[in-house]
Amino acid sequence: MADRMDFTRTDARTGLKRLRTVPKLNGEYPARIEPGKSRSREKIAQPLRKLLGELLAGKKRLPLVISGPPGTGKTCAALCFADAVWDAYFLSFPDLVQLEFAPWDQQNSMRRELERAELVILDDVAVGVETENSLRLRREVLWRTLDLRERRANGQTVVTTNCKRDLLTRAFGQAVESRMFCGTHFELLGVDQRLSRPHNG
Ligand SMILES: Nc1ncnc2c1ncn2[C@@H]1O[C@H](COP(=O)(O)OP(=O)(O)OP(=O)(O)O)[C@@H](O)[C@H]1O
Ligand SMILES: [Mg+2]
């Protein structure tokens, strides 16, 4: 991946022109990538901003896993990274699992995107209270996706998650851990930016 963006510059943009996603079933986009929504690199915690620059310069390896508590800015940081590459595809993990039940043409176009995109953002990989069957499905979908990305795109993937690595490994198994954590892992600690936002009025 070429060094196309200086992450020390401040800039706010949406990147939507080159960022593709599956619209929700009701036709809306996921909240983070609504047209017109701005994200700024200067709001990303400095150590993570530096790391994103190093990844773009090829000094660190993808896949990148950004883990940390809710509201710390994981998704926004991943989207800022996507703004810096030519072609990115955004998919939330719950949506990816739901697509297993979607019509064939929708599943096929999603798979084509997963094969082709320069960068895939897999947002919100999580473990909930699950039945054995639902966990098996989620494990299979996650393994298949990470494996496909590794083979077709040299693992150019960014994963965000609220879960710790050991919890993910226990839930999804070592084959997933191996594919997910073979690049760079960043734990984003800090305040919940949603809760610390000033109130209007
Ligand atoms: N770089 C940024 N530019 C603009 N706003 C930001 C940025 N980072 C965080 N925020 C603000 O903080 C809020 C939370 O950020 P974000 O959704 O990225 O957190 P998260 O860690 O992905 O949360 P969750 O774990 O719940 O998915 C956003 O709605 C946004 O208002
Ligand atoms: Mg998020």
169 touches 181 (CB < 8 A): no
Q: What average pLDDT does the structure give for the chain?
A: 85
**Cβ of 183 less than 6 Å from ligand 1:** no
Q: Map out the domains of the chain as residue ranges.
A: 61-187
- With a 6 Å cutoff on the Cβ, whether 72 touches ligand 1 is yes
**Quick one: DSSP state of residue 183?**
S
pLDDT digits (tens, 9 = 90+) for 111-147: 998 999 999 999 999 987 778 888 999 999 999 999 9
pLDDT over 90 at 38, yes or no: no
What is the tens place of the pLDDT at every residue in 84-93?
Answer: 887 888 899 9
194 lines ligand 1 (CB under 6 A): yes
Structure tokens at 100: 């297993």
Beta strands in 58-171 (DSSP E): 64-67, 88-92, 119-123, 157-161
pLDDT confidence of residue 3? 42
Query: Could you report the per-residue pLDDT of 60-84, keeping only the tens digit for each?
Result: 999 999 999 999 999 989 988 888 8
**109 is written with which tokens?**
């176009």
Write down the CATH number for the domain with range 61-187: 3.40.50.300
Alpha-carbon distance 13 to 42, whole Å? 12
- Beta carbon of 70 within 6 Å of any ligand 1 atom: yes
Q: How far is the CA of 151 from the centre of ligand 1 (A)?
A: 30
Please indicate, yes or no, whether the overall pTM of this predicted structure exceeds 0.85. Answer: yes
Residue 21 has pLDDT above 90, yes or no: no
Q: With contact defined as beta carbons under 8 Å apart, do 88 and 117 qualify?
A: yes
Q: Which of 89, 109, 79 is nearest to 5 (CA)?
A: 79
